[in-house]
Every structure is written in structure tokens, then in C-alpha cells.
């Protein structure tokens, strides 16, 4: 097996990118400690993100030892006409995470001050994913402001229907300065069956 190695300069820092072993992608879905990065693909999904790489760039399997970033994901966003972008993990096949009671992940800002919120446990509500409301998420969190330290985020999913999940995590980032880049890191995204402690506040629907 050969690993592809590249060095990319992004938002002012050198980043080493390593390709994932293909065998990891064959990991079977499980409600217990299932890392969604091995089951779903991170893509641009909304706002300025719909214009693909023009405003939003996604770098997978980043290694940055100074930031304790071992095979994490870096998302870089230059605000465009919509003033926000969404990126989300997506699969054409649905997965059953019944038995999970929370999602846990780590997120960190590149410079600090980045404002994000999260939609969790989404499933198709329409055959056309371009339709407004085509994806129905079980939980939407309140917005948080990132800093340059890793935050451990827990999302309480107790009592939620976790069958047929196609969009486990959607990330919304906003910004208004079209001359600057907003960037953040994310890693270790799992469903598990432990109770959520200090879960991130959610928006009442």
C-alpha cells in the first residue's frame, strides 16, 4: 500500500496531508465508537459552500504536530455573497446508529474567534437533496465561538431516531470579511452509547 504525501500552504501554515488507507474505509457502521469520517464524505453543502472550491476548501488527513492535529480535517472558508458556508458529512447509503446516545468530536479554530454551529443526525426528508428542508436533522446546536485550543463537543442524542442516517454532521460557519480566511480543524467524530455530560446547548425546534 502506498501513501500519497503532499505539502500544502494554507492560511499561512504548512500542512502535511496523508491519504487514508483504503482498508479503513471498509469499517462497518456501529453505534458504538463509530468514526463517521470512515463512513461518510465531507463535502460543501450550503451557502457559499455550494460554489464548491471558490470559497470553501476542505483538507483531509492533516498532520500539524504543533496543533495536536493528527490526521484531522481542516476547513478553510473565504466569506462570499451569502456570508456563511456549510460543510457536511454525507453518504448515499443510510446507516443505523440505533443505540448511540451522543455524538462526540473535537473542534478548534485556526486563529480563534470563528463562529460555528452544528446539525447532527440528518436523514433524507425529500428525494431531492437540493430542496429546502430536504435533510431533517435530529438536533441543531447553538452557535459557539472557537479559540486556538481543542474543544471537546458532546451532542445529546438520547431519545432520537438514529435509523437511516445519511448526513450525520453538518457544520455552519459564518463571516463577513471577504478579504480574510476563516479556518477551523475537526477530528475524532464518533457516535457512542455513553451518556452526554455537559452537552452543547441545542436550539428548540
Which tens digit of pLDDT belongs to each residue from 169-200? 999 999 988 888 999 999 999 999 999 999 99
The C-alpha cell at 33 is: 465508537
Contact 153, 102 (CB under 8 A): no
Q: Give residue 106's pLDDT band: very low, low, confident or very high (50, 70, 90).
A: very high
Instruction: For residues 95-100, give the mean pLDDT.
Output: 93
Q: Give residue 132's pLDDT band: very low, low, confident or very high (50, 70, 90).
A: low
Looking at residue 6, its pLDDT comes to 38
Sign of torsion over alpha carbons 56, 38, 155, 199: negative
Q: Give residue 130's pLDDT band: very low, low, confident or very high (50, 70, 90).
A: low
Domains of the chain: 30-50+80-180+188-192 (2.60.120)
Mean pLDDT, the chain, as a whole number?
A: 83
pTM: 0.82
Q: What percent of the chain has pLDDT over 90?
A: 62
Q: Give residue 71's pLDDT band: very low, low, confident or very high (50, 70, 90).
A: confident
Beta bridge partners of 60: none
Three-class HEC string of 174-197: ECCCCCCCEEEEEEEEEEECCCCC
Sign of torsion over alpha carbons 15, 18, 19, 24: negative
Does 19 score more than 90 pLDDT? no
Q: How far is CA 28 from CA 41, 93, 131, 167, 184, in A?
A: 15, 12, 30, 17, 28
Does 32 score more than 50 pLDDT? yes
Q: Give residue 133's pLDDT band: very low, low, confident or very high (50, 70, 90).
A: low
Instruction: For residues 145-155, give the mean pLDDT.
Output: 97
Amino acid at each position: 500500500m502506498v501513501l500519497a504525501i503532499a505539502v500544502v500552504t494554507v492560511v499561512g501554515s504548512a500542512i502535511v496531508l496523508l491519504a487514508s488507507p483504503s482498508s479503513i474505509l471498509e469499517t462497518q457502521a456501529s453505534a458504538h465508537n463509530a468514526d463517521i469520517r470512515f463512513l461518510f464524505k465531507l463535502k460543501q453543502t450550503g451557502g457559499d459552500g455550494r460554489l464548491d472550491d471558490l470559497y470553501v476548501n476542505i483538507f483531509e488527513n492533516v498532520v500539524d504536530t504543533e496543533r495536536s492535529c493528527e490526521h484531522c480535517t481542516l476547513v478553510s472558508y473565504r466569506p462570499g455573497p451569502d456570508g456563511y458556508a456549510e460543510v457536511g458529512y454525507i453518504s448515499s447509503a443510510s446507516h443505523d446508529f440505533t443505540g448511540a446516545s451522543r455524538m462526540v468530536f473535537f473542534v478548534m479554530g485556526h486563529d480563534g474567534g470563528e463562529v460555528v454551529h452544528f446539525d447532527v443526525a440528518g436523514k433524507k426528508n425529500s428525494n431531492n437533496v437540493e430542496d429546502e428542508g430536504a435533510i431533517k436533522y435530529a438536533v441543531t446546536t447553538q452557535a459557539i465561538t472557537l479559540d486556538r485550543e481543542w474543544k471537546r463537543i458532546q451532542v445529546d442524542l438520547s431519545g432520537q431516531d438514529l435509523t437511516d442516517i445519511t448526513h450525520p454532521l453538518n457544520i455552519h460557519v459564518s463571516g463577513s470579511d471577504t478579504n480574510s480566511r476563516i479556518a477551523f480543524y475537526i477530528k475524532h467524530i464518533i457516535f457512542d452509547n455513553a451518556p452526554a455530560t455537559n452537552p452543547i446547548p441545542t436550539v428548540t425546534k
